[in-house]
Chain A
């Protein structure tokens, strides 16, 4: 089942902060975050695993609440380069299912 992302779209001024949320109705093993710029392929940002392990880029901050099956991506002091569509993908534990992506959050950073 597809995770739900919120908000659907955000417009920020450069330097402002944003939080993007991802929630699932299924028990999760991991949450994966990707960013996609228009006309390009998705690019990896971070993986958060059940148990607290995280893999990703140092400048990206995120959290994973295993009990609530929710994850949040924190973008602080936003830069113009942060613009794009952010996707969360979820993996449920114990099975062989691949990633299920949410519909994305569109982020626009204005100067």
Chain B
């Protein structure tokens, strides 16, 4: 298996633009997680899905952020409009069970100018 796949790996955009991050989890994994990592706040859980259904989105910062999982092999995290404080590395991870090992993707480094 190729592992968790994220795209793009790097994204530079201007304030106010829409940004869409993509994730393909490991086949057969029922759980998908979106994390944001910054120096100040560390590694934060934004939202996670179980069988394509959002379970806990309490970490989503505000209405500018939205996440979808239309099927078991694809998820998106959208920021609209983007702001400089959204600059971070965004990781997607998947696992077979909530209490199992999570496999992280390589991350998307987002820079909002």
Footprint of B on A, CB under 8 Å?
A: 2, 29-30, 32, 34, 40-44, 47, 49, 55, 87, 91, 96-104
Contact = CB atoms under 8 A, between A and B. Distances in A.
Interface string B49-67: 0000001101100000000
Contacts of A91: 98-99
Given A41-B104, A101-B42, 4 more contacts: A96-B56, A101-B45, A103-B42, A104-B43
Interface residues of B, number: 21
A103 B37 CA distance: 10
Contacts, number: 51
Contact of A30 (B99, B102, B105, B106): B99
Interface of B: 33, 42-45, 48, 55-56, 58-59, 91, 98-107
B17 to A, nearest CB: 25
A99 B101 contact: no
B104 A42 contact: yes
B104 A43 contact: yes
Of listed B43, B55, B103, residue having the most chain A CB within 10 A: B43
A59 B7 CA distance: 33
B48 A44 contact: no
A28 to B, nearest CB: 12
B101 A55 contact: yes
